[in-house]
Structure 1
């Protein structure tokens, strides 16, 4: 039931990522006047975070916005590109190098790639069929690929070992795709819950930052407050102070610097990693136990990028991804035995940045898990030295390096979410449920939750984050319906 005119409701959005910006945009366009958003200033590097538009088709709101702002090239926007269904795994043209310095013919390794794709597809089927035989994706992948390989590949020992080495490399890369330390932590039964959209993954020619800037430009200039880290959200009328016109707001947001902001509603769009680390101090009173437990059960890992620049390319002109194959490694192991001494062994996949005219000769290496977190503790010189030694073993040395450090960023504490063992879609729904919970006598919709980890099917994606921001804005819009003076949304 509407309590008063929604246009006068005071709404505070915590977080200035695409989820928070999307929520603010929609509320402003629907006539809400008192929307305030918190953000933080700082140097950012293009594509140090999100890289692709996954599933660039009309079903993807990020793609639609990119087209609306004219940020993509003609090929990415073509109907042909939108109609390709890749099932979430782009068909990159590979180059493969071994730890003994050999370049391997991709055709010889083709059966390994086909087997891996087939078994990964089987992993996704258990969500709808049930009866998963093992708890985790990693356990099933390892067991099933080894079984099929030994039964069906009638090849010499050398070829067998190289194919198994590629399977190991692909398993490590899957850790980066899922944002987890090991695929043994990813629940098999819920793995197929993630939905991929049609379209051949594409990038922004000028980076994701262009999309954020266009969205920010549509917001009123004075609604974003920078450098206001939040200490605690006091909700359920436990920390109220009177504001203008004698009205009392049910929520007070306390900042680290001592400032406070009153609000009728707060939309929390911060990463799940931050919630995991600070949930017991971020809200007062504490989160209900079911929500707290769901936050802890849900997986949230680290996936970092290491950019390497070379004087000249050692890869083929049509190459899109480079695989490093360790010939001396145990079969199908996606973690290293000694993180400090061998963390670079988790760095097994490199995408080629294109076009060359824009980037030069640059590779983007992907590394996930505790190995990735350890890499963040090293100096840039130590990382460059270690990676140079690695690449020299396989090919040639880079001349320059740039890396991301998402685990040690105090406001992210990692990269993105995954559905861990023992977790289900109900946990995601529980995390997304507003406070106070249904059935309470307190003022409704005091604290709302958005962000990629609150979307049941598009977790870990930018479009999932955007959709959830819109979802919570729509929740408030519906709460105050009918509104007077509603502005038609263009989103």
Structure 2
């Protein structure tokens, strides 16, 4: 455990109690920092992790519920060390092409189930194309083009292009990839930047165990003393650069945090873990002085998408025992290029928002519950509708596509991350024309910047969260690592100032 600086205890405030903020707090506390306060705007910790039990004793994840890879993944290691991983046979995968099995039933708009062999062929081809993009093996002509354009051009040149059914399944693959990338359309997502994201080895779909992600949060929460975490504490403003010459922790602090309830906290360091969506809505008024131009540019240019879930609870299971998911293949889905282009400039797509739903998947430990996934502007539109209306639309889709006798659901539950004023979406994506590394590194840069007056106290305002990680944005392990990263900046800052054994300051 690190020894605190002899000058006193620095005051550290962490804004946001998602996994990034909790990881930062736990890291600081474990290294001997005792004056740490975590401010959470909502009435619960967790941020975009939200484990609930609306359908009985088993958990439902309204937010994050997947561990993305095993090898080198600190979240996987933490879950394994504490016995929190899913039991064998209970992990249900999310509906993305690389996870499709013969247990997924694909139905076209005419109500016909598509042959599994045909679906598998198209999905495998789609996965190969995506692997090329992730592995930086794309032709240079795609560097400045959209992911949708790349996929269309490659598909058009393939042997599959002659099949209408294959074209429709390929559109489903693109629609599903929108969910994975949190974008409204792959035609708005950069193909040339995708390689920056690093997929960890060991499997992409490892479900958390029966305690859900809450059990992981509890590991961090148990390490914090009572009073460290304050919920229902929205931050109104962060004033920084207030003290430029004080060298004592007991003297004036360079940062003041103003809460909406009127409370003020002085701090030597503030770690901001607010979501990119929240920063996009509030950064112009949240910081005084305003953030540097390059940081404001990063906040504006990076994308923050909407991904929503629709849970349908039925009295009993109506789908076959070997069916793990019901996938919807449209004649012309929203990821058809001509459909996408025609939707620009008008709002007709709102009347067909449901076409963005990929399908309905089984939910672990809930034999009578299905989960639908929807993303982008359609998800944002759906969040404004009544749950009853959404449930009626989903049941109509299930009936018309499958021809089965589908009962009305007992309950409908929707996630509403876009409507949440303290989140405003799901996770980060890289829009077409954006230099991801440049913007994400600018977003992660602590204030004051190195180019500022060297007299100013360093590390006044630090930034963490999945949006600030170039390789692991969108993921919980990315969020976790950035919280640890910013805590380590502070830890290193004070360890460098500790007396060395010969009485001199360490360099």
Q: Shared topology, TM-score over 0.5?
A: yes
Residue among 365, 373, 384 paired with 2:372: 365
The question of 1:194 aligning with 2:197 is answered: yes
SS at match of 1:385: helix
SS at match of 1:107: helix
Q: Cα RMSD over matched residues?
A: 2.8
Conserved in 2, the CA contact under 8 Å of 1:309 and 1:398?
no
Quote the Cα distance in structure 1 between the aligned partners of 2:330 and 2:227: 54
Q: Please name the residue that 1:157 is paired with.
A: none
Q: Tell me how far 1:393 sits from its aligned partner.
A: 1.1
Alignment of 1:236-385 (within 5 A): 236-237=241-242, 247-329=251-333, 332-333=336-337, 335=340, 337=343, 338-354=348-364, 358-385=365-392
Q: Please name the residue that 1:173 is paired with.
A: 176
Quote the Cα distance in structure 1 between the aligned partners of 2:35 and 2:199: 36
Conserved in 2, the CA contact under 8 Å of 1:142 and 1:332?
no
Quote the Cα distance in structure 2 between the aligned partners of 1:445 and 1:127: 39
1:299–1:432: structure 2 CA closer, same or farther, 3 Å change rule?
same
Query: Which sits farther off after the overlay, 404-413 or 161-170?
Result: 161-170
Question: Which digits, 9 at most, give the CA deviation of each residue in 1:26-72, with x for residues without a partner?
Answer: 10000001000012315963310002111033x11111111222112
Q: Tell me how far 1:350 sits from its aligned partner.
A: 2.5
Residue among 213, 217, 223 paired with 1:218: 223
TM-score (norm 2): 0.85
1:229–1:331: structure 2 CA closer, same or farther, 3 Å change rule?
closer
Q: Tell me how far 1:76 sits from its aligned partner.
A: 8.9
Quote the Cα distance in structure 2 between the aligned partners of 1:320 and 1:276: 38
Quote the Cα distance in structure 1 between the aligned partners of 2:336 and 2:272: 39
Q: Please name the residue that 1:417 is paired with.
A: 428
- Unaligned segments of structure 1, at least 5 residues: 82-86, 154-159, 486-491
TM-score (norm 1): 0.87
Residue among 448, 451, 454 paired with 1:439: 451
SS at match of 1:412: coil
Quote the Cα distance in structure 2 between the aligned partners of 1:346 and 1:19: 30
Quote the Cα distance in structure 2 between the aligned partners of 1:325 and 1:6: 65
Quote the Cα distance in structure 2 between the aligned partners of 1:206 and 1:268: 28
Q: Tell me how far 1:295 sits from its aligned partner.
A: 1.2
Conserved in 2, the CA contact under 8 Å of 1:25 and 1:215?
yes
- Unaligned segments of structure 2, at least 5 residues: 45-49, 53-59, 500-507
Residue among 85, 109, 120 paired with 1:99: 109
Question: Which digits, 9 at most, give the CA deviation of each residue in 1:149-186, with x for residues without a partner?
Answer: 466x5xxxxxx222211111111111110001111111
SS at match of 1:8: coil
1:3–1:33: structure 2 CA closer, same or farther, 3 Å change rule?
closer
1:99–1:5: structure 2 CA closer, same or farther, 3 Å change rule?
farther
